[in-house]
Chains A and B, each alone.
Chain A
Amino acid sequence: MSIKADILDEFEQVAREQGKKLTPLGDDTMLLESGLDSLCFAVVVARLEDRLGVDPFQTAEDDHFPVTIGDFVKLYEHAAV
């Protein structure tokens, strides 16, 4: 699976667990409009750390917080390089 597919998979999994309705996710979808709340994002980040072995938020050099799904995916892709 690509990193992006892993991430989208976790979004769907967590939304299911937390009973949230996901909007269709595109690169430009705003995280805040994805249907997930802060706790869901927190869980996604924790799961991805176990799945991919990285937490880019702990290692990121700039502190630009991701705004869109595309930003979020890029953050992980860069961290994984």
Chain B
Amino acid sequence: MNTPPCDGSLWSLTAQGGDLARRHLHGLDASVALDELAGGSSLDRPVGDLAGKSVLIATTDQLTAALAAIELDGIARRVVLCPPDLSPDHLPHVRTTAGIDAVVSDGRMPSDVVCSATIMPGSPVRLPRRETEWVLLTSGTTGAPKLVVHTLSSLVGAIKPNSFTAAAGSVWSTFYDIRRYGGLQVFLRAALGGGSLVLSSAKEPVADFLARVGRHGVSHISGTPSHWRRALMSPAAGLMAPKYVRLSGEIADQAILDDLRAFYRDASVAHAFASTEAGVGFTVDDGMAGFPASLVGQGAEVEMKIADGSLRIRSSRTASRYLGDVGPLRDADGFVDNGDELELRDGRYYFVGRRGGIINVGGLKVHPEEVEAVINRHPAVRMSLVKARKNPFTGAVVVAEVVARQEPSDALQGEIIAACRGTLAPHKVPAAIRFVPVLTVGGPGKLARAAQ
């Protein structure tokens, strides 16, 4: 691959960031300097063979996926990023729905093209740039994933040149997998912003990842609130010293924002509202949970409205459509409804939970997340999961599993219930609290909530 004039492709935008020899993509087992890519390829066949094709990138490793994505944008007609935890049962559905012509893999599955982190020198490819569709898979807990169509311009719409969050020389990292929307945003920020990137690995313990992030001098790092709670439980959390800490993908409650600010004193802490379908809505950097009500309606780039209690977003950053016959992604006016419900308090909107996750206690609604936010505020609580338990008197009651920072006790249990009672309506107060050593954080970095 050569260094082309800027034609809007990911490679040309990456090259524009300059200093390719000093910028790296760091995987767990290998690192690639971006200038290697200027004079070679990660693929075992000429990339021109994939011109105009619909290509599934299905690698084990995030590094090989990143390399293939850089090479294929602007050349393939469509690039489908296969997340690491896609069930083999769903693979045929994905292949058919996306009309896959070729598979690029690193040994994860049989493929037409092999990609590896060892860059083979090759002659520069000069092909006219075409607009490549980027397809991301949603991570629904049940059923087949949905295939969400973006373009490079919708994906990078929130990335501003020369802003603090895209400073040249930055070293980015993320707890996310870059084949998920949240991780892809970080990959693209590093690429467009003249930075390097440290990739996570599913087979690496959290403490080792944190240590590696520290060794590479990561300056900007993102993850879900669940990722961050888990990181702060590790003694290795102190091995990194980021300047910018970002949360997205789940509700960022005040407790985790405060914890991160207290722990990473030199970092600015921001939380973003983003989803695969809605794109990046907005970023909040005032250190407070929720977002100012003044954001709603306004905005040159992102238009927001609240309808039936949930947030709707219209912007050039939203996905355009789903592949396959699964209904529209946007409503008739072009708004995306993510099912995130909001509550207005004192001029600020707070996310209270997802429409699908409501627990019904004797006919009264409870969002698990609003109860978790109260529990997490207790200084002895690291994280919590609120769920429904079947009940003969009210249909269901709210119960909580809690990871404590200290030795759990009956007294602590009583304190947590008292704290809930002080803030929440009686039907929202957990009927029972169970202390657990750990809560499951699923592949997409979100708390694993059982389907009800």
Q: Which residues of B contact A41 (CB under 8 A)?
A: 393
| Chain A interface, number of residues (Cβ within 8 angstroms) | 15
| Chain B interface, number of residues (Cβ within 8 angstroms) | 17
Closest to B414 in A: A17
> Do the beta carbons of B434 and A45 come within 8 Å of each other?
no
> Do the beta carbons of B362 and A38 come within 8 Å of each other?
yes
Closest to B395 in A: A42
Shortest distance between the CB of B418 and any CB in chain A (Å): 8
A46 contacts chain B at the CB level, 8 A cutoff: yes
Contact A39/B426 with A46-B389, A46-B397, A46-B399 known, Cβ cut-off 8 Å: yes
> Do the beta carbons of A45 and B392 come within 8 Å of each other?
yes
A6 contacts chain B at the CB level, 8 A cutoff: no
> Do the beta carbons of B426 and A49 come within 8 Å of each other?
no
Closest to A14 in B: B431
Q: Which residues of B contact A42 (CB under 8 A)?
A: 361-362, 391-394, 397, 431
A22 contacts chain B at the CB level, 8 A cutoff: no
B427 contacts chain A at the CB level, 8 A cutoff: yes
Contact A18/B432 with A42-B393, A46-B391 known, Cβ cut-off 8 Å: no
A43 contacts chain B at the CB level, 8 A cutoff: yes
> Do the beta carbons of B394 and A38 come within 8 Å of each other?
yes
Q: Which residues of B contact A65 (CB under 8 A)?
A: 392
Shortest distance between the CB of B79 and any CB in chain A (Å): 49
Contact with A along B389-416 (1 / 0, CB 8 A): 1111110010100000000000000000
Report how far A14 CA is from B16 CA in the complex, Å.
65
Q: Which residues of B contact A39 (CB under 8 A)?
A: 361-362, 393-394, 426-427
Report how far A65 CA is from B393 CA in the complex, Å.
10
Report how far A50 CA is from B426 CA in the complex, Å.
20
In the complex, chain A residues 36-81 whose Cβ is within 8 Å of any chain B Cβ: 38-39, 41-43, 45-47, 49-50, 57-58, 65
Report how far A42 CA is from B432 CA in the complex, Å.
10
> Do the beta carbons of A58 and B390 come within 8 Å of each other?
yes
> Do the beta carbons of A46 and B417 come within 8 Å of each other?
no
> Do the beta carbons of B427 and A17 come within 8 Å of each other?
no
Shortest distance between the CB of B408 and any CB in chain A (Å): 13
Closest to A31 in B: B393
Contact A43/B421 with A18-B426, A57-B392 known, Cβ cut-off 8 Å: no
Closest to B427 in A: A39
6 A–B contacts from the bound complex (CB under 8 Å): A17-B417, A45-B391, A45-B392, A46-B391, A49-B432, A58-B390
